[in-house]
Chain A
C-alpha cells in the first residue's frame, strides 16, 4: 500500500491543484479510487495521482530566503515618485509628455 497525492485540474485556464490523498495498493487502483473520492461531482476535468514517495519536496526553509528579494519586485512606487517630480517640474499648465 502507498499514499497517493491527488491533484485536480478544472476545465479551462487554471492548472492542477492539490486536492488530498488516498491509500491505494497500486497506480490503477489509486486512479480509479481517486476519481470517486475527489472528483465525483466533476470537481476537476483531469486527474493526477502521484505516489507520495515520488514527490521531491523543497520545504519552507529551502524556499524561504527568496521571500526577501525586493530587487526582484519593482513595485511601481519609484516610478510614481519620478512621475510626480516630472509633473511638478513641468508646471501646472503644460501637459506632461
Chain B
C-alpha cells in the first residue's frame, strides 16, 4: 500500500469510476463492424478501447490500495467476479441498447460528464489517481470532439434530429444514477482525493445538454439519485452473463 492514509471509502470511490468506464467500454465493443459507416466503426472502437483502458488503470489503483499486484487475474477478479450488488456502476453504463442514436447520445452524455469527472481528480491528493487523470483527460477531449463532430451535422437534419431527441429522452433519465454518490465519495473529498462530489457538475451538464440539443432539461435528470449506486439496471444480469461466457467455460483457464 503506497497511500497509507487512504480511508476505506477510497476503494468504493475508485470502483464506481472504474465500473462505469468498464461497462461503457463494454457497450462500445458491441458496435465494431456495425456502426453506420466504416470510419465510424474505427473511431467508436478506439473510444471503447480507451474506456476499457481507463477501467484497467482505475482497477489497478484499487488493487494498489489493497497491496495486491495488478495481474490480469486480479484485475479480472474486480471486473468480472464481484456479486452484482457490489458493483458501483451507473445504470447509464449498464443498460444495453442496439439503437445507434441512443449509443451516440449516451456516448456524448457520458463523455461530457467524464471529462468533468476527471477534472475533479486531476489535482488529487492521491497522487496515483492524479497521474491517471492527467493521461485520461487528453483522451477525453478527443471523445467529446468525436461525438460533437457527429452530432453537429446530425442535429441539423430533421429526421436525424428527431431520432436523437427521442434517444436523449431514453438516456437522460439515467443521468441521476451517474451523478449518484458511491459511499466512499464523501471520504474521498474530505482527504482531497477529489475536489468535489460528482453531483456538483450537475448544473454544468444541464447547460451542456441545453446548448448541445437546444432543448430544456427536465429537472429530475440532474437531481442525483441517492441509492449509493447499489441498484443495478434490469439488464445487468444478462450483460454480465455475456461477458462471463468464456471465463465461466473453464474458471481454471488462463486465456
Contact = CB atoms under 8 A, between A and B. Distances in A.
Chains A and B form a bound pair = yes
Q: Majority SS of interface residues in chain B? A: helix
B46 A32 contact: no
B42 A37 contact: yes
Interface residues of A, number: 14
B153 A25 contact: yes
Interface residues of B, number: 14
A40 B39 contact: no
Contacts of A96: none
Nearest to B46: A36
Q: Majority SS of interface residues in chain A? A: helix
A34 B43 CA distance: 9
Given A35-B142, A36-B46, A40-B46, A28 B149 contact: yes
Contact of B149 (A23, A29, A37, A40): A29
Interface of B: 37, 39-40, 42-43, 45-46, 142, 145-146, 149-150, 152-153
A25 B153 CA distance: 8
A33 interface: yes
A22 interface: yes
Interface string A10-33: 000000000000111110110111
